[in-house]
Chains A and B, each alone.
Chain A
Amino acid sequence: MSPPVAPPGWSRWLVPPAALSVHLSIGQAYAWSVFKPPLESALGLSGTQSALPFQLGIVMLGLSAAFGGTLVERHGPRWAMTVALVCFSSGFLLSALGAAVEQYWLIVLGYGFVGGIGLGIGYISPVSTLIKWFPDRPGMATGIAIMGFGGGALIASPWSAQMLKSFGTDSSGIALAFLVHGLAYAVFMLLGVLLVRVPRPRERADGGPAALEGVQVPARGAMRTPQFWLLWVVLCMNVTAGIGILEKAAPMITDFFADTSTPVSVTAAAGFVALLSAANMAGRIGWSSTSDLIGRKNIYRVYLGVGALMYALIAMFGDSSKPLFVLCALVVLSFYGGGFATVPAYLKDLFGTYQVGAIHGRLLTAWSTAGVLGPLIVNWIADRQEEAGKHGSALYGTSFVIMIGLLVVGFVANELVRPVHPRHHLPAAPARKEATDVPRQQPESA
């Protein structure tokens, strides 16, 4: 499938909805927990077993983004979105079959393995194209798409819960819910497949494709640069710090104020978790757009430096002021989202647009690592502190000190990022096939 080239007059404002239709769909992954209790009771599963499809899905997301990135660059966004649609939707359909015949392994295979490939390919599918359409505002453009991944769970969570309420929570009700999910997401993602276009190649005077401008580094070469690995550390540390709060948000706020005159109820804790989701989403679009104005290195200084300060404030004064606790946690979570959304633009600044999608896919292994590291630190330490007879905010003090240390490591890594050495650059050959740039004629772009 050759990349679909935009006809004259095609508006670049049609590309973000294409990206959003994919990201809002695959973001459903974070709402998997809605299916856990019904699956446990219908199929007699433990909590660990019912988490398997989600865990395998996240592993497959990282693997397919890392190893499929070059294919995405070669075949273009429509191919990638088609693969994402087919895998994500088939995953649900296989899961529907698994639930109908009460074969749980089919749900793990369908949602986790097949659907997980759709998650990874879908996540990176629009990144490179958005950056090429919005070279003046790459942070904003990728921020819109990656905000969609956060938004996907907000939509799926109440929608799936409502569906299970209507169809029932026995195996046939779950099967029907999976079936509807598979079909509805296929239709919703189809918009992205049909809509996405790459910018027309800018032509040389003799009619051939022009070379890409500026620094261009291929994906394989990028992995040999210290810049890639420094950014890997930056992303890993930032995500670990965010997950540190996200993972235990509800019990954390309850524990912090358990011994005060204003304890936090279970309902209020659920409200706090929802507010964190809002901050996460707002950070993706807000901070990423801000990076277009103040620069990528500066925005990561804010994420990591101010993030460490927020953690320090929670550790020192969090249990004496609920507004301060909530405010600091919201800021940390907005930085967590911002870190995800800004990194494609940072990669573009360092390595150019040539294979930025593939490089981004490989960098996402930092996310997978942080996904293990963050919960491990917070849960392990909280359990040890509880065993030692501590309670309330004392359960989290050590975790917060570790998070501050990790953010400082990330801050230093960001400071060490320099422009890529010219020996890694591609030669400015006019025959470079993927040479594309923003069309000169964009009547509807602003």
Chain B
Amino acid sequence: MSHDSSQSPPDPPSRRPLIAFTWLWVGAPLAYGLYELVRKATQLFTG
């Protein structure tokens, strides 16, 4: 008796690497913007 794989759908591929990449894509420039913002904001206390 042969194994019939068509009876159960294949597992969907893992999206974790794609999720990590896409969040890094948007997160890196945002982190740069926040870093520059914090640098400027500290002037309120030191300027």
A residues bordering B, Cβ < 8 Å?
7-11, 13-14, 17-18, 20-21, 24, 148, 151, 154-155, 157-159, 188, 191, 195, 265-272, 274-275, 277-278, 326, 441, 443-444
Given contacts A9-B13, A17-B22, 6 further A-B contacts (CB under 8 A): A7-B12, A24-B26, A157-B33, A272-B44, A278-B37, A326-B44
| A151:B41 contact, CB within 8 angstroms | no
In the complex, which residues of chain B have a beta carbon less than 8 angstroms from the beta carbon of A21? 25-26
Indicate whether A154 sits within 8 Å of B25 (C-beta atoms), given known contacts A271-B47, A275-B44. Answer: no
A143 vs chain B, min Cβ distance (A) = 14
**Contact among A265, A266, A275 for B41, CB-based, below 8 A:** A275
Residue of B nearest to A277 (CB): B37
B1 adjacent to chain A (CB < 8 Å): no
B residues bordering A, Cβ < 8 Å?
9, 11-16, 18-19, 22-23, 25-26, 29-30, 32-34, 36-38, 40-47
| B36:A154 contact, CB within 8 angstroms | yes
| A268:B44 contact, CB within 8 angstroms | yes
A161 vs chain B, min Cβ distance (A) = 10
**Contact among A10, A271, A444 for B42, CB-based, below 8 A:** A271
In the complex, which residues of chain B have a beta carbon less than 8 angstroms from the beta carbon of A441? 12
Residue of A nearest to B36 (CB): A158
| A271:B29 contact, CB within 8 angstroms | no
| A191:B22 contact, CB within 8 angstroms | yes
| B12:A443 contact, CB within 8 angstroms | yes
Residue of A nearest to B13 (CB): A9
B8 vs chain A, min Cβ distance (A) = 13
- Inter-chain CA distance A272–B40, complex, in Å, is 9
**Contact among A9, A11, A158, A443 for B33, CB-based, below 8 A:** A158
B22 vs chain A, min Cβ distance (A) = 4
In the complex, which residues of chain B have a beta carbon less than 8 angstroms from the beta carbon of A275? 41, 44
| A444:B15 contact, CB within 8 angstroms | yes
Indicate whether A11 sits within 8 Å of B41 (C-beta atoms), given known contacts A20-B26, A267-B47. Answer: no
- Inter-chain CA distance A266–B34, complex, in Å, is 21
Residue of A nearest to B24 (CB): A17
| A8:B19 contact, CB within 8 angstroms | no
| B26:A154 contact, CB within 8 angstroms | no
| B26:A17 contact, CB within 8 angstroms | yes
- Inter-chain CA distance A274–B42, complex, in Å, is 9
